[in-house]
Chains A and B, each alone.
Chain A
Amino acid sequence: EIVLTQSPGTLSLSPGERATLSCRASQSVSSNSLAWYQQKPGQAPRLLIYGASTRATGIPDRFSGSGSGTDFTLTISRLEPEDLAVFYCQQYGSSPYTFGQGTKLDIK
């Protein structure tokens, strides 16, 4: 089973700043099968990025993904107050599909 470790656990930034979230896998993720989700309080997760770097339908270009192998990054440029959420990475390259423990993004 691939274990995903996200860092930092919590990130506190101001509107307009850039957020950089990390996801590290315990072994290489097959075919860069890595997704990022945003979960706002009381809501279901929303798909942001798949294939490590492809934005899902309707996702603004403030959100970008990068990385390969075992190290992946989600970058949110120009933070907005509504970006407050927990962000999860997920690998779907090998079963069982696994999620990271999440990074909580606080907007000051």
Chain B
Amino acid sequence: QVQLQESGPGLVKPSETLSLTCTVSGGSISTYYWSWIRQPPGKGLEWIGYIYSSGNTHYSPSLKSRVTISVDTSKNQFSLRLNSVTSEDTAVYYCARDQRSTSCYDFWGQGILVTVSS
């Protein structure tokens, strides 16, 4: 059974960079797409972007100028960086696996709350 686990700081200051890592266990990161999705407190879900195990990426246009997703296949991890954060970026951040041949998500991490505040 594939498992995903997000890790990183739970508090980031405004204008700084949010950095999260997702560790995949129980399966290889290779030959799959992997995504980041976020959910502001009490609100709905927002797709951030995805990366293929080869390193190809695709981002949401609304965040594209501030987002970088990278992968480290040797560690079975992929990462999210979001720069110039504001309070609008406060959310639970989820990592997820794209189901093969689709861009819906069959395995999710438990989520990590990141608060942007000074």
Contact = CB atoms under 8 A, between A and B. Distances in A.
Interface string A13-37: 0000000000000000000010101
Q: Which interface residue of A47, A88, A98 has the most chain B CB atoms within 10 A? A: A47
B46 A99 contact: yes
Given A44-B94, A44-B108, A44-B109, A92 B103 contact: yes
Nearest to A34: B104
Contacts of A100: 44
Interface string B86-109: 000000001000010011111011
A33 B102 CA distance: 8
Contacts of A37: 45, 105
Nearest to B111: A44
A50 B44 contact: no
A103 to B, nearest CB: 11
Given A44-B108, A47-B106, A57-B106, A90 B45 contact: yes
Identify whether the interface residues of A are mostly helix, strand, loop, or mixed.
loop
B61 interface: yes
B114 to A, nearest CB: 15
Contacts of A98: 47
Interface of A: 1, 33, 35, 37, 43-47, 50-51, 56-57, 88, 90, 92, 95-102
Contacts, number: 54
B74 interface: no
Contacts of B110: 43-44
Contacts of B99: 47, 50, 56
Nearest to A31: B102
B108 A51 contact: no
16 contacts: A37-B45, A44-B94, A44-B108, A44-B109, A45-B108, A47-B99, A50-B102, A50-B104, A51-B102, A56-B106, A90-B45, A92-B103, A97-B103, A98-B47, A99-B47, A102-B44
A97 B44 CA distance: 13
A51 B104 CA distance: 9
